[in-house]
Amino acid sequence: MGLLGDVALLLVSFVVILAGAELFTNGIEWLGHKLGLGEGMVGSVLAAVGTALPETMIPIIAILFVATAEAKEVGIGAILGAPFMLSTAAMFVTGTAVLVFSRGGRRNTYLTVNRVILGRDLRFFLGVYIVAMALGLPFFPKPEILRWAAGIGLIAAYVFYVYRTASDPKSGGDESLNPLHFQRRVTVPQLRNVLLQVFVALAAIVAGAHLFVHEIEVFAHEFGIPALVLSLIIAPLATELPEKFNSVLWIRKRKDTLAMGNISGAMVFQSCIPVAIGVVFTPWVLNEFAIASAVIAIAAGIMLQIYLRTGAHVTGREMLTLGIPYVAYIVWVVAFPHATVPLLH
C-alpha cells in the first residue's frame, strides 16, 4: 500500500476512535448514574481503566508470555511510556481542547475540577511512581523478595485507591445527561442497553487504536525512527492518547472533573498494575533514558499539583506547559545516536 493509502487508513482510524469515544463517554456517564457512582469512580476508575486496560495487555503479553530479552525491553518501554505520555502529552491535548472550545464560546478558558478527586489521583500517582522508579535505579539492590513485596504493595495501593474513590459523594440526577445513543427515545435507558453501548464503544476504540498503531509503526519504519522511540514514546502515544479523546469530549461538555479524572485515574492505574508486573517479572534496572522519562512524568504531576493549589482554576495555558518537557524529551532522544541502547541493562 502506498503512502496515500496509509494516510487514508490513519484518518479512518481517527474517525473510528472518535465515534467510539463519543459512544463511550455517553455510555459511561449513564453507567455511573445507573450504579449510583460519584464522579471520581466514573472518571478516574471506570473510564480510566476501561480505556487503559487494552494497552496494559501489551507489556503483560511481552513480559509474561513472550518473555525474551527484547520483548521485556518493549514491555518496559510501554510501562514507562504510558505515565510519561499521560502526564504530559495528554494534558497538553486537554489544554488545547479547553482553549479551542473556549474560542467557539462553548466554555471558559479554565477547568473547574473537583480538587479532592484530582488531588487524590495525583498524590497516589506520585507516591507509588516515585517508589517504583527509585527501585529501578541501577545502584538499588533488588533481591527477589523485595521485588515481590513491591509488586504486591503496588497492587494493594491501587485497591486502596479504588476504595477511597468509591467513598466519594454519589452522582446527582440525570438531568445533565444526554440521551443514551443506543436508546434515544426513552428518558431513562435500561442497564443492558447502557452496558451494550459501553462494550461496543470499547470495541470501536480498541479497533481504531490498533489500526492507528499499525499505521504509526509503518511511518516509524519508513522514516527510520529508533527502536527506543517506538517502544517508549510512539507505542504509548499511539495506544493511549487516541483513547483519551474521551477527555476532549467531556471538556466540550464542560464536565471537567470527568475529563481530568479520565487521565489522572489512568496515571494511577498505569503506575500501579503494569509497573507491578515489570518490577516482579523483569530485573527492573533502568537506563538513563527510561529514568529521564519517569522524572519528567513525576515533575509534570508535581506541576499540576502546584497549579491546583495556587490558583482558583487550572487554565488551558497552564495545561499546555505540561507538553513542553514531552517535546524536549523527544528531541533529546532523537538527537543522540546512543538513544537506541536497551531499556534494561
CATH number of residue 276's parent domain: 1.20.1420.30
The number of domains in the chain is: 1
1 — pLDDT class (breaks 50, 70, 90): low
Torsion angles phi and psi, residue 315, rounded to 5 = -85, 160
pLDDT at 273 over 50: yes
340 — pLDDT class (breaks 50, 70, 90): very low
- Residue 75 in grid coordinates: 514491555
More confident residue, 303 or 245: 303
Cα atoms in the Cβ-side hemisphere of radius 13 Å centred on 190: 3
> Is 223 a domain residue?
yes
222 — pLDDT class (breaks 50, 70, 90): confident
- Residue 180 in grid coordinates: 443514551
CA dist 44 and 165 (Å) reads 8
**For position 179, what pLDDT does the model report?**
87
Sequence-ordered list of residues with C-beta below 8 angstroms from that of 328, at least 6 positions apart, any chain: none
Cα atoms in the Cβ-side hemisphere of radius 13 Å centred on 59: 30
pLDDT at 61 over 80: no
What domain range includes position 204? 3-340
Put residue 192 in one of left, alpha, beta given phi > 0 → left and psi -120 to 50 → alpha. alpha
> Is 134 a domain residue?
yes
Highest mean pLDDT among 88-97, 168-177, 335-344: 88-97
**For position 16, what pLDDT does the model report?**
84
**For position 311, what pLDDT does the model report?**
66
What Å distances lie between residue 281 and 62, 242, 259, 292, 344, CA to CA? 11, 29, 33, 22, 13
345 — pLDDT class (breaks 50, 70, 90): very low
What Å distances lie between residue 258 and 8, 32, 50, 336, 341, CA to CA? 32, 11, 14, 39, 39
Region of poorest pLDDT, from 117-121, 177-181, 324-328: 177-181
> Is 166 a domain residue?
yes
CA dist 205 and 337 (Å) reads 35
> Is 345 a domain residue?
no
> Is 298 a domain residue?
yes
> Is 272 a domain residue?
yes
**Residue with cell string 504530559:** 88
> Is 69 a domain residue?
yes
Region of poorest pLDDT, from 112-121, 203-212, 261-270, 313-322: 203-212
pLDDT digits (tens, 9 = 90+) for 85-136: 899 999 999 999 999 999 878 788 889 888 888 999 999 999 999 999 998 8
The whole-model pTM stands at 0.80
**For position 88, what pLDDT does the model report?**
93
**For position 282, what pLDDT does the model report?**
84
**For position 56, what pLDDT does the model report?**
74
pLDDT at 173 over 60: no
> Is 35 a domain residue?
yes
